[in-house]
Amino acid sequence: MDVKPGEIYGIIGRSGAGKSTLIRCVNGLEQPSTGSVLIEGTCITTMDAATLREARRHMGMIFQHFNLLQSRNVIDNIALPLEMAKAPKHEIQSRVNQLLELTELENHGKQYPSQLSGGQKQRVAIARALACSPKIMLCDEATSSLDPRSTLSILELLRNINHELGITMLLITHEMDVVKSICHHVAVIDAGEIVEQNGVIEIFTNPQAQETKELLKASSRMEVPRVIKDLLQANASRDSGTILRIAYHGASASQPIISYLIQQYHIIVNMLQGSIETIQDQIVGVMIVEIKGDRENVDKSIAFLERNGLHVEILGYVQRDP
């Protein structure tokens, strides 16, 4: 895996896939049995303990369960890493104030973790992670125990931090929606192996690995409807319909293309599922359709779609009454 400076790199996989283990290899808490981790060209895996501690100071970490000290108020939680780095008192104070403002916690400085909502707790954890001005931030399921609204606000905060401070982020999640909203690139991990990595738009429009397709289904609920799924066959037979997943982004608008198909190739297009959304300023459309017509025209239609920059995947064939 290669993460470019300043980007938000997502790592997605189901529970137990090895995401946390991977991130623990990056901060040196875990030693990989083979391979190495380089940060700005320096190898983490062969560092001695003192150098590693110093290197870790330049990495901020946030977790699913916030890991705040219950006995310290917000200000003292944020100050902790600065105290450990033996920063002078006045410096700590001004840095903490800066961070309270950045995370919109100005009015909560004296409160204790037990008095805060989940979203506020994660803001404290983010402020603490930023205390020593890290270049890298590692986020392990940072939004997984938050409600949808807090999730959005935390993701927005992370996006702003990345954008304004240029901090590189490695962001672990099991949800495609998180990847969709803030990641630039993403790696899909399954059973301890990276099975696919690509830009976010490519992952959504043209997924390759089976695991990626499963994760996409779980998030968008874009699946072949049950009644059709039960009839799905791997091979075409005479007058069977062809079930396609069609995806496109940006300039290739779908509507005129589909209308053209119907006219030009005398096929029937039956829309089964569809969604159009904006992912990071790009329009991304995905649909599942059934097309029927004579075999040659169906093949020509698929070739036509691909020529026009749409991604087409044949999901199977169905034989059913019109």
Tell me how far, at minimum, the Cβ of 280 lies from ligand ADP, in Å: 25
Q: Which does 216 bind (CB under 5 to 8 A by kind): ligand ADP, Mg ion, none?
A: none
| Between 95 and 174, CB nearer to ligand ADP | 174
Instruction: Give the HSE-up count for residue 2: Cα atoms under 13 Å, Cβ half-sphere.
Output: 2
Check: CB of residue 23 under 8 Å from CB of residue 13. Answer: no
Tell me how far, at minimum, the Cβ of 30 lies from Mg ion, in Å: 12
| Between 25 and 216, CB nearer to ligand ADP | 25
| Between 6 and 18, CB nearer to ligand ADP | 18
Binder of ligand ADP out of 192, 199, 250, 274 (CB under 6 A): 192
Indicate whether 198 belongs to the interface with Mg ion (CB under 5 A).
no
Indicate whether 13 belongs to the interface with ligand ADP (CB under 6 A).
yes
Size of the site for ligand ADP (CB under 6 A): 9
Binder of ligand ADP out of 6, 21, 57, 223 (CB under 6 A): 21
4 conformational bin, left if phi > 0, alpha if psi -120 to 50, beta if neither: beta
Q: Read off the amino acid at residue 280.
A: Q
| Between 64 and 252, CB nearer to ligand ADP | 64
Check: CB of residue 291 under 8 Å from CB of residue 242. Answer: yes
Tell me how far, at minimum, the Cβ of 171 lies from Mg ion, in Å: 12
Site for ligand ADP in 86-145 (CB under 6 A): none
Residue entry with tokens 């190495």: 36
Indicate whether 36 belongs to the interface with ligand ADP (CB under 6 A).
no
Q: Got the DSSP string for 15-73?
A: TTSSHHHHHHHHTTSS--SS---EETTEESTT--HHHHHHHHHTEEEEETT----TTS-
Indicate whether 20 belongs to the interface with ligand ADP (CB under 6 A).
yes
Instruction: Give the HSE-up count for residue 301: Cα atoms under 13 Å, Cβ half-sphere.
Output: 29
Indicate whether 143 belongs to the interface with Mg ion (CB under 5 A).
no
Indicate whether 18 belongs to the interface with ligand ADP (CB under 6 A).
yes
Q: Got the DSSP string for 250-311?
A: TT--HHHHHHHHHHHH--EEEEEEEEEEEETTEEEEEEEEEEES-HHHHHHHHHHHHHTT-E
Measured CA to CA, the distance from residue 149 to residue 220 in angstroms comes to 18
Q: Got the DSSP string for 76-128?
A: HHHHHHHHHTT--HHHHHHHHHHHHHHTT-GGGTT--GGGS-HHHHHHHHHHH
Instruction: Give the HSE-up count for residue 231: Cα atoms under 13 Å, Cβ half-sphere.
Output: 15
Instruction: Find the residue with minimal CB distance to ligand ADP.
Output: 18
Q: Which stretch binds ligand ADP (CB under 6 A): 19-27, 199-207, 305-313, 314-322?
A: 19-27
Binder of Mg ion out of 12, 20, 285, 305 (CB under 5 A): 20
Measured CA to CA, the distance from residue 167 to residue 133 in angstroms comes to 9
Tell me how far, at minimum, the Cβ of 183 lies from ligand ADP, in Å: 16
**x/- binding map, residues 139-178, to ligand ADP, per CB under 6 A?**
----------------------------------------
Binder of ligand ADP out of 8, 12, 17, 228 (CB under 6 A): 17
Indicate whether 224 belongs to the interface with ligand ADP (CB under 6 A).
no
* Residue ranges that bind ligand ADP, judged by CB under 6 A: 13, 15-21, 192
